[in-house]
Amino acid sequence: SARPRAGEPGRGVRVAVRRYDPIAVALWKHRLQAVTAEMGVALRRAAFSPNIKERCDYSTAIFDAEGRMLAQGDDIPVHLGSMPLSVQYALRDAPPEPGDVVALNDPFRGGTHLPDITLVRGVFDSRARPRFYVANRAHHADVGGMHAGSMPLATEIFQEGLRIPPLRLVRDGRMQEDVLRLILANVRTPDERRGDLRAQIASNHVGADRLQALLAAHGWNTLRRRGDELLDYAEDMTRRLLRTLPDGEYHAVDFLDDDGIEDVPVRIEVRVRLRRGKAHFDFSGSAPQVTGGLNAIEAITRSAVFYVIRSLVEETIPSNDGCMRPVTMTLPRASVVAAEPPAAVAGGNVETSQRLVDVLFEALRPALPERIPAASSGSMNNITIGGVDGEGVPYTYYETIAGGMGARPSANGISGVHTHMTNSLNTPIEALHHAYPFRVTRYALRRGSGGRGMRRGGDGLVREYLFSTPAQVSVLSERRRLPPPGAAGGADGKRGRNALWRDGRWRTLPGKFQIDVHAGDRLRIETPGGAGWGRPRLRRAQR
């Protein structure tokens, strides 16, 4: 529901902003983004695991001397919006000196969930004064814990894997071998983890080199001024968006199917107050933190808000901390949107983040009815597989499976695509067959799973695995009970389905489970379709 005040500004309002040299803004925006892009290329090419090399489950960013994000790669939204808190904790607890690289994954110190490891490196001038920081975050296919792949149905964070507070992995240019040995001793695939961590170190080295070159060419004063200008520009463009929306209070509620442990829907609620170019997001009505691992920490909720605000700004603006200056939040402590230790959080990063976006878009729909799409699949459909191959070598595999995009007011939804808080790729079957002792026997669009409407929702996917050796499998998925809701009279998208073939018949599995599979078993994941937008009869009339 929405209660805009009569007579308040609507779309088309002229808003005064600071003056900028548009060429300089565009030039420096692209210069810094080019650095983050090159960091990403270095990380992807040097990585060992298919999850990073093939799926691109990583993100890169640049921060100024105060820890404010100046630029980010076109990577994973749930990483990028939360990374500033990780950098702030790194600068507070283990400030990097020249030649240092600080590592952390602690969700309660700005992380997301334990498989996402963040590395931070400083960029210093000739007098060893920090001028910038470069950071990257990558999802490691295993960081220990009670189940292969470190995405279990846990009830506390200690079951989910190794928790790393900010510490120096590299000191004065030298790898801290004792720290590395500690990390590798707690994971199932140490060689792969070593390779991925070294790829992250190399990525930050590339970013630091490029920024050093910019410092040498333009000087610190110029770079500081241009960085401040990029932050101010992003702030002004965000305020201009907010000023075009009707002032008032907007409200929405949605639910997660369950937390994987207790069979109860989990409430996510937001109230959005818009007034004079500012926005306040109040999540006070959301459920207390739950027993299972669907708890999102503060950084995740902030990341979802950042993503929604950034995606609604029509101009091609820098994605930096300036976008969040007009935004405030109320996050209830020890809740499903701001969990506290020792809550389990593995699924909060991947599933609760998606529902947060659904709720935020639904709340803002009355203010921007011609821009807000119908709900997308609403799940990352996470699957982890681990075991020992035919030669006795341990392996772990992780991927997210795409679904259907929600229909937009101006176009149909896209089929088989990762949406919202995930921006990774689907793993190529050839890469999977090369690296792991199981096979994909079916990979196709799930025809007809998108919701009908004036604009149709995109279809989900069907992905089926055949196991040749025993393995541990865990799945965290959503929208298996509550479908993606249609908008403006459009139909809901179809719910997802999980099933196991064993002993000659299919058995339906819940949305969240962990099982031991046998040789010859098959697992089928059918992802949800996107919801439709607008009444179908309007589509016929338009034709």
* Alpha carbon distance 405, 420 (integer Å): 9
From the list 62, 93, 42, the residue with the least C-alpha distance to 198 is 42
pLDDT at site 291: 98
* Alpha carbon distance 53, 39 (integer Å): 13
The phi and psi torsions of 488 (rounded to 5 degrees) equal 55, 35
pLDDT digits (tens, 9 = 90+) for 359-390: 999 999 999 999 999 999 999 999 999 999 98
The CA–CA distances, whole Å, from 497 to 346, 392, 479, 512 equal 21, 33, 9, 11
For 458, the token pair is: 């995109």
pLDDT at site 5: 40
Q: Is 277 left (phi over 0), alpha (psi -120 to 50) or beta?
A: left
Residue stretches of the chain with pLDDT short of 50: 1-15
> Which amino acid makes up residue 533?
W
pLDDT at site 538: 63
* Alpha carbon distance 502, 200 (integer Å): 41
Question: What does R_g of the chain's alpha carbons equal in angstroms?
Answer: 23
93 CA to centre of own chain:
25
pLDDT digits (tens, 9 = 90+) for 3-56: 444 334 444 444 455 777 888 999 999 999 999 999 999 999 999 999 999 999
pLDDT at site 79: 87
Contact call for residues 456 and 406 (beta carbons, < 8 A) = no
pLDDT at site 302: 95
For 523, the token pair is: 């697992």
User: CA angle, corner 202, sides to 150 and 198, nearest 5?
Assistant: 40
Contact call for residues 498 and 475 (beta carbons, < 8 A) = yes
pLDDT at site 129: 95
Non-local CB neighbours of 94 within 8 Å, separated by 6+ positions: 102, 166, 167, 168
Q: How many CB atoms are located within 10 Å of the residue 42 CB? A: 20
CA dihedral 120, 307, 300, 250 (to 10 degrees): 150
